[in-house]
Amino acid sequence: SGDEKLGEKLNYTITGIEPGAGITATTERALEEYDNLDGWELETSSTAGMMGQLDSAIDNEEPLVITGWTPHYMFEQYDLKFLEDPEGVYGEPEFVHTMAREGFESDMPEAYAIMDNFSWEVEDMQGIMLAAQDMDFDEAASNWVEENQDMVDSWTEGIDEGDGQELELGSYPWDSERASSAVLSQVLSDHGFDVTVNTVDPSILFQALAQGEVDVTAAPWLPTTQGAYLEEYGDDIVDMGPNMEGTVIGVVVPEYMDIDSIADLKP
Ligand code: PBE
């Protein structure tokens, strides 16, 4: 299926985001795995830059191929679809994991216990991401905490309050992790910890966890998106398991485009 001139119209370009994102590395791998993507390239920029291009493509009903993921408000704002991925490069729906530095559990058992209890749903994260279109993440998170006090209580119930111990929470520069970090930062602060959110690229975050410079994080998407870093640093990091399930990364296009699969992008 598809339009023979599509590649030409798109300048054989997939429009991507920041070079340090896992979805960027995964898309570079897709460019290698799919023979039909010979001659295509991934243009990296920023999430905001990509979203700007998506907005004008949709305004003009022009074709555009982007790297996309969910949860993200792009799927609320526009009619989009993930392209099928017959080679399975982008993997199955993923999990977001909580991870700590070695020694965090024995140094700060109460904070560790709260982080270990932390678990929520895609809808929770997405609600905060949407609300944060009109307010800052701290305000959106604090409203969410107020409305979901039972869930928050289930994370902190029976755990002793901290007495002002400092805690470095590692995060990513994407809205999904701005949402989770804003919630965790508030919950941990309310429970007596002095939280600093450290927002860095995935490669830096894994390195900082392995070196003990960051205490804990709820950011990594696994097994695909940040899988390479877990392989590299996993021996020096405590993987506390999933805090959320159902995230997806892939190649995304507007609904009106007449293609369904990455294999439909012709050289
Ligand atoms: N993301 C959002 C990140 C992780 C969270 C999908 C843009 C990535 O590393 O690709």
Residue 218 burial (C-beta neighbours within 10 Å; 0-12, 13-18, 19+): buried
Alpha helices in the chain (DSSP H): 6-9, 22-33, 47-59, 74-77, 104-107, 109-117, 122-131, 137-147, 149-156, 175-190, 202-210, 227-233
Is 7 close to ligand 1, i.e. is its CB under 6 Å away?
A: no
Mean pLDDT of all residues in 195-210: 98
Please give the DSSP secondary-structure letter assigned to residue 218: S
Is 225 close to ligand 1, i.e. is its CB under 6 Å away?
A: yes
Q: Residue 222: its pLDDT value, please? A: 98
Is residue 164 within 8 Å of 194, Cβ to Cβ? yes
Is 98 close to ligand 1, i.e. is its CB under 6 Å away?
A: no
> Within a 10 A sphere around the Cβ of 162, how many other Cβ atoms?
19
Is residue 96 within 8 Å of 180, Cβ to Cβ? yes
Question: For atom 7 of ligand 1, which residue has the closest CA?
Answer: 21
Task: Work out which ligand 1 atom sits closest to the CA atom of 23.
Answer: 10
Task: Work out which ligand 1 atom sits closest to the CA atom of 24.
Answer: 10
Q: What is the spatial distance between Cα 211 and Cα 199, in angstroms, rounded to a whole number?
A: 16
- Top pLDDT among 143 and 76 is at 143
> Within a 10 A sphere around the Cβ of 20, how many other Cβ atoms?
16
Is 127 close to ligand 1, i.e. is its CB under 6 Å away?
A: no
pLDDT score of 3 more than 90: no
pLDDT score of 97 more than 90: yes
Is 100 close to ligand 1, i.e. is its CB under 6 Å away?
A: no
Token pair for 140: 């959106």
Q: Residue 135: its pLDDT value, please? A: 97
Listed in sequence order, the residues at least 6 apart from 75 whose beta carbon sits closer than 8 Å to its beta carbon are 68
pLDDT score of 116 more than 80: yes
Q: Residue 237: its pLDDT value, please? A: 98
Task: Work out which ligand 1 atom sits closest to the CA atom of 177.
Answer: 5
Q: Residue 2: its pLDDT value, please? A: 58
Domains annotated on the chain, with CATH: 6-90+249-264 (3.40.190.100), 94-247 (3.10.105.10)
Q: What is the spatial distance between Cα 131 and Cα 133, in angstroms, rounded to a whole number?
A: 5
pLDDT in tens, 204-241: 999 999 999 999 999 999 999 999 999 999 999 999 99
Q: At what angle do helices 137-147 and 175-190 cross, to 10 degrees?
A: 60
Amino acid identity of residue 27, one-letter, is T
Per-chain mean pLDDT for the chain: 97
Residue reference for tokens 């755990």: 159
Q: Residue 4: its pLDDT value, please? A: 73
Is 221 close to ligand 1, i.e. is its CB under 6 Å away?
A: yes
- 108: helix, strand or coil: coil
Taking Cα atoms as reference points, which of 21, 3, 9, 121 lies closest to residue 68?
21
Strand 166-171 relative to strand 216-217, pairing: parallel
Provide the ipTM. 0.98
pLDDT in tens, 131-176: 999 999 999 999 999 999 999 999 999 999 999 999 999 999 999 9
Q: Residue 235: its pLDDT value, please? A: 97
